[in-house]
Amino acid sequence: MKKIGVFLCHCGINISATVDIEKAMEALKDYPGVAHIEDYKYMCSDPGQQLIKKKIKDLGLDGVVVCACSPTLHENTFRLTVKAAGMNEYKMEMANIREQCSWVHKDKTVATEKAIKIIKSVIEKARLDEALDPIEVDITRKAMVIGAGVAGIQTALNIANSGYEVILVEREPSIGGKMAQLSETFPTLDCSQCILTPKMVEVSNHPKIKLMTYSEVVDVSGFVGNFKVKVKRKATGLDWDVCNGCGLCTEKCPKKLPSEFDQGLGERKAIYRPFPQAVPNRVVIDFENCTYMQSGKCGICQKVCPVKAIDFDKEDKFVEEEVGAIICATGFETYSVKDIPEFGGGKLPDVVDGLTFERILSASGPTGGEVRRPSDGKVPKDIVFLECVCSRDPEHYLPYCSKVCCMYTVKHAMLYKHRVHDGQPYVFYMDMRTGGKGYEEFYQRAAEEDKVVFIRGKVSKLYQDDDKIVVCGVDTLSNETIEIRADMVVLATAIVPSKGIRELTKLLKIQIDQHGFLSEAHPKLRPVESLTAGVYLAGCAQSPRDIPDTVSQASGAASMVCTLFANEKLKHEPIIVGVNEDICSGCGICTVVCPYDARKTNLEKKLVEVNEVLCEGCGACAAACPSGAAQQNNYTDNQINAMIKAILGKGG
Amino acid sequence: MAISLNKEKLRTQECEKLQEVSGTNVYSCYQCGNCTAGCPCVDAMDIPPHEVIRLAQFGQIEKILDSNTMWICASCVTCSVRCPRSVDISGVMEALRQIALQNGNEDVTKLGELSSEELEELPQIAVISNFRKLTS
């Protein structure tokens, strides 16, 4: 029989206050297989671990049961402990007598009895545990970053500068994302484009970065270290290898359309480049609005193109790439003003969202940086900013705080005042949230120096009256209702995930929360990883955040990728479910229940085959298998039955 | 009645004068309420000190002058000492009193109407602070 050592942890008083350790030891010391039993105040401490190591060596133990907290916390600790003492780490088991016992009970007698049963069942499992070795997998040291806003750019640069290849995929014709649209950034008021474009240029010139703009991920298969990604390269209507970005075509194109980059305020042509600093410096044809594509007449761009790049080719191309890690950095959108009926539903031209106001403030924007309202181009003299529009409103819109609106609204009010000296900005807010380096000081400067009037209260309605917008609110600090006849209103609408995120997360097999933001593996300790190994997160796709936070997190994700790539081979948990070929009939029931596509039926051999690397050891197949051919390593039917018997008091 | 705000109403001459006379920037106030919390006379005031500053931010000087607040203020300066944004609330009260008096409010002390017995009873310091408060 195996010689098992049982080690009980007091966890300070976390366990010992509710579980009578002495009584438990008395009850367990003669249990079959137990060669040694001992307790200690903190088993996870260095002396606690030394104690386990010593006993393994002195007594020649070949099984260890640590009775302490959840294995999600310290399984790795104790695996390393026993391994250091020369024991196979998969012969170490943890009996969770804290989260599943002491923390949830008050009655010491009952809790002690339950703890004894839990430990007995784990001893039963340990008796049948076999030595296992991690499965080794090869790794492709190339990363794919999806989304080329500042998050994607930063991640790509960090990985590429570490010497690994990166493919940067972007849906739009140019990289840059939302940050390229911003005017100036809080709290330093440096020009957004001025600080972003050097990074964009670095991306375009980097020998390790392959840029795929105007492209979308359409299929993902494989697993950590070995993903296969299919990318659709959308037809541009011209040959980008030939085009030199001179822009003559966009000059001559007669078809004018509202520019998406300028939030519909400025114009672009049917053949266009989204903005002057676009990377790559290439144009695309908007097929839906191109006169030639619709009627066959025009073709001016083709005539004027000095390098004959334009071919009107509408065929999308598909490419397959093999990568070892994927970073999802798909960014955000703002809640559409059209969907907010109480604030005009997008029908009042002088009620705009924050991103539109960014374009109005931007030196490269449709007004050249002069603050002019969209309806008649007048300079607004009384301008109202509303915060928490759709955010923090679980009854009607979204429950969460969009985090950046407080700061960008203060910035908007300040920049407005810097441009229109005799104008008056008003900000309606619910709470000012200015957590961040230099943020509170920035807010106070706006009030003190720029005389921005901050009014604490939510606006209930606004309406057009002649050429004014009447804003009705309250100041809850003075209990006065407030009415402002404003020339223009800016809504800080909620941050929402960008379109298409649901489809993409299905391809990547990663989870999203109820609002569509990417879910992290652990909110505090694994904030840049998804629950799917090899897929990482960066930027606003995960939750609203500002530029410094985005850049930090993007670098964090890049460092996780580099850590992964630094491994010679990847190690995969060996607690997987194989196939006993002598028993398997190839019925395929297990292949249907497997959530990881790890099991495939081989019709010729009438057997199920397992991709051990894909198997995450959930055990669904083992439970579904009618013949017992699918047995999970160290969780065999025999082990489970023995555990149940022990729990029910019939074990041993 | 809702307060109707626009840039003319915010920047009234009186509001500018209040800030000039008191030497304080009322827009520095972020309405924490520390002044009101520590004021020993607040129970007798129509409008508490933090709200006086709030109304000043909205240019509502008349509304403030209609209240008894600046007359109740004992000029103990606790508010100004405690203010985290160095708003001189006590100085604002003093400025409000001056503006009210300059606006031709009647002499609320009426010392001449007090009988000699009453004047005998009255502590000297009360008469002095009364003059200081009401005439500057």
Q: What is the residue-wise DSSP string for A40-86?
A: ES-TTSHHHHHHHHHHHHHHT-SEEEEEES-HHHHHHHHHHHHHHTT
pLDDT band at B14 (very low <50, low <70, confident <90, very high): confident
Q: Flag if B31 and A422 touch (Cβ within 8 Å).
A: no
Integer Cα distance of A449 and A438 in angstroms: 16
Q: What is the pLDDT of residue A522?
A: 92
| CATH number of A333-496, picked from 3.40.190.10, 3.50.50.60, 3.30.420.10, 3.10.20.340 | 3.50.50.60
Closest by alpha carbon to A343, among A301, A389, A397? A389
Q: Flag if B54 and A477 touch (Cβ within 8 Å).
A: yes
Domain boundaries, chain A: 4-132, 142-331+497-565, 333-496, 573-633
Q: What is the pLDDT of residue B42?
A: 95
Helices (H) and strands (E) in chain A, counts: 17, 32
pLDDT more than 70, % of chain B: 93
In this prediction, does ipTM exceed 0.85? Answer: no
Chain A contact for B31 (CB, 8 A cutoff): yes
Residue for token pair 């040291």: A141
10 Å CB burial of residue A100 (0-12, 13-18, 19+) is: middle
Q: Token digits for A616?
A: 């995450």
Neighbours of A503 (CB within 10 A): 12
Q: What is the pLDDT of residue A650?
A: 56
Among A423, A448, A483, beta carbon nearest to B4: A483
Q: Flag if B7 and A472 touch (Cβ within 8 Å).
A: no
The pLDDT tens digits for B65-117 are: 999 999 899 889 999 999 999 999 999 999 998 888 888 756 666 777 888 88
Q: Token digits for A149?
A: 């806003």
The pLDDT tens digits for A110-145 are: 999 999 999 999 999 999 999 999 999 999 999 999
Residues A617/A577, Cβ–Cβ less than 8 Å: yes
For residue B17, pLDDT beyond 60: yes
Integer Cα distance of A140 and A158 in angstroms: 18
- Please, where are the H alpha helices in A395-480? 405-419, 439-448
Neighbours of A83 (CB within 10 A): 15
Integer Cα distance of A196 and A381 in angstroms: 32
Q: What is the pTM of this model?
A: 0.85
Among A423, A444, A447, beta carbon nearest to B7: A423
Chain B contact for A453 (CB, 8 A cutoff): yes
Does the bond joining A306 to the residue before it have cis omega, within 30 degrees of 0?
Answer: no
Q: What is the pLDDT of residue B135?
A: 63
For residue A41, pLDDT beyond 80: yes
Chain B contact for A503 (CB, 8 A cutoff): no
Residues A390/A336, Cβ–Cβ less than 8 Å: no
- The overall average pLDDT reported for chain A is 95
Integer Cα distance of A380 and A374 in angstroms: 10
Dihedral (CA of A161, A162, A164, A167) sign: negative
Residue for token pair 């492209």: A215
Partners of A447 on chain B (C-beta within 8 Å) are 27-28, 30
Neighbours of A291 (CB within 10 A): 15
| CATH number of B9-105, picked from 1.10.1060.10, 3.40.50.300, 3.40.50.1370, 1.10.730.10 | 1.10.1060.10
Q: Flag if B27 and A444 touch (Cβ within 8 Å).
A: no
Q: Flag if B2 and A422 touch (Cβ within 8 Å).
A: no
The pLDDT tens digits for A338-363 are: 999 999 999 999 999 999 999 999 99
Residues A596/A91, Cβ–Cβ less than 8 Å: no
Residues B97/B71, Cβ–Cβ less than 8 Å: yes
Q: What's A258-316 look like in SS3?
A: ECCCCCCCCEEECEECCCCCCCCCCCEECCCCCHHHHHCCCCHHHHHCCCCCECCCCCC
Partners of B6 on chain A (C-beta within 8 Å) are 382, 424, 484-485
Chain B contact for A480 (CB, 8 A cutoff): yes
Chain A contact for B86 (CB, 8 A cutoff): no
Q: Token digits for A405?
A: 């609106």
Neighbours of A60 (CB within 10 A): 11
Q: Flag if A483 and B51 touch (Cβ within 8 Å).
A: no
Chain B contact for A483 (CB, 8 A cutoff): yes
Q: What is the pLDDT of residue A613?
A: 86
Report chain A's terminal Cα–Cα distance, integer Å: 12
Q: Is A251 helix (H, G, I), strand (E, B) or coil?
A: helix
Q: What is the mean pLDDT of residues A294-318?
A: 94
Question: Could you tell me the CA-to-CA distances from A641 to A241, A574, A644, A652, B116 in Å, in that order?
Answer: 65, 21, 5, 12, 105
Q: What is the pLDDT of residue B105?
A: 59
**Cβ neighbours of residue B112 closer than 8 Å, sequence gap 6 or more:** none
Among B6, B10, B51, beta carbon nearest to A478: B51
Partners of B51 on chain A (C-beta within 8 Å) are 477-478
- The overall average pLDDT reported for chain B is 88
Partners of B5 on chain A (C-beta within 8 Å) are 382, 426, 453, 482-484
Q: What is the pLDDT of residue A651?
A: 41
Q: Is A4-132 CATH 3.30.70?
A: no
Q: Is A16 helix (H, G, I), strand (E, B) or coil?
A: coil
Backbone angles phi, psi at A382, to 5 degrees: -115, 120
Burial letters A219-252, b for 16+ CB under 10 A, else e: ebebbbbbbebebbbbbbbbebeebeeebebbee
Q: Flag if B50 and A422 touch (Cβ within 8 Å).
A: no
Q: Flag if A482 and B3 touch (Cβ within 8 Å).
A: yes
Q: Is A573-633 CATH 3.30.365.10?
A: no
For residue B130, pLDDT beyond 50: yes
Q: What is the pLDDT of residue A652?
A: 39
A189: left (phi over 0), alpha (psi -120 to 50) or beta: left
Interface test with A, best of B4, B6, B31, B34 (most A CBs within 10 A): B6
Closest by alpha carbon to A97, among A68, A73, A123? A68
Residue for token pair 């090869």: A138
Any bridge partners for residue A95, and if so which?
A67
The pLDDT tens digits for A411-443 are: 999 999 999 999 999 999 999 999 999 999 999
Q: Token digits for A101?
A: 């016992």
Question: Could you tell me the CA-to-CA distances from A598 to A2, A541, A610, A619, A636 in Å, in that order?
Answer: 33, 28, 6, 12, 19
Q: Flag if B54 and A478 touch (Cβ within 8 Å).
A: yes
Chain B contact for A382 (CB, 8 A cutoff): yes
10 Å CB burial of residue A652 (0-12, 13-18, 19+) is: middle
For residue A579, pLDDT beyond 90: yes
Domain boundaries, chain B: 9-105
The pLDDT tens digits for A159-173 are: 999 999 999 999 999
Q: Is A420 helix (H, G, I), strand (E, B) or coil?
A: coil
Q: Which residue of A has its CA nearest to B49?
A: A478
Q: Token digits for A239?
A: 């040959």
Q: What is the pLDDT of residue A36?
A: 97
Which is it for strands B3-5 and A480-486: parallel, antiparallel or unpaired?
parallel
For residue A18, pLDDT beyond 90: yes
Closest by alpha carbon to A349, among A372, A374, A371? A374
Closest by alpha carbon to A216, among A330, A342, A295, A379? A330
Q: What is the pLDDT of residue A268?
A: 96
How far away is chain A from the Cα of B124, in angstroms, using its nearest Cα? 38
Any bridge partners for residue A475, and if so which?
A480
Rounding to the nearest 10 degrees, give the CA dihedral for residues A608, A611, A612, A616. Answer: -100
Q: Flag if A484 and B55 touch (Cβ within 8 Å).
A: no
CATH for A142-331+497-565 is 3.50.50.60
Partners of A482 on chain B (C-beta within 8 Å) are 2-5, 58
Which is it for strands A142-146 and A317-323: parallel, antiparallel or unpaired?
unpaired
The pLDDT tens digits for A176-229 are: 999 999 999 999 999 999 999 999 999 999 999 999 999 999 999 988 999 999
Q: What is the pLDDT of residue B118?
A: 85
Q: Flag if B2 and A481 touch (Cβ within 8 Å).
A: yes
Q: Is A633 helix (H, G, I), strand (E, B) or coil?
A: coil
Backbone angles phi, psi at B103, to 5 degrees: -70, 0
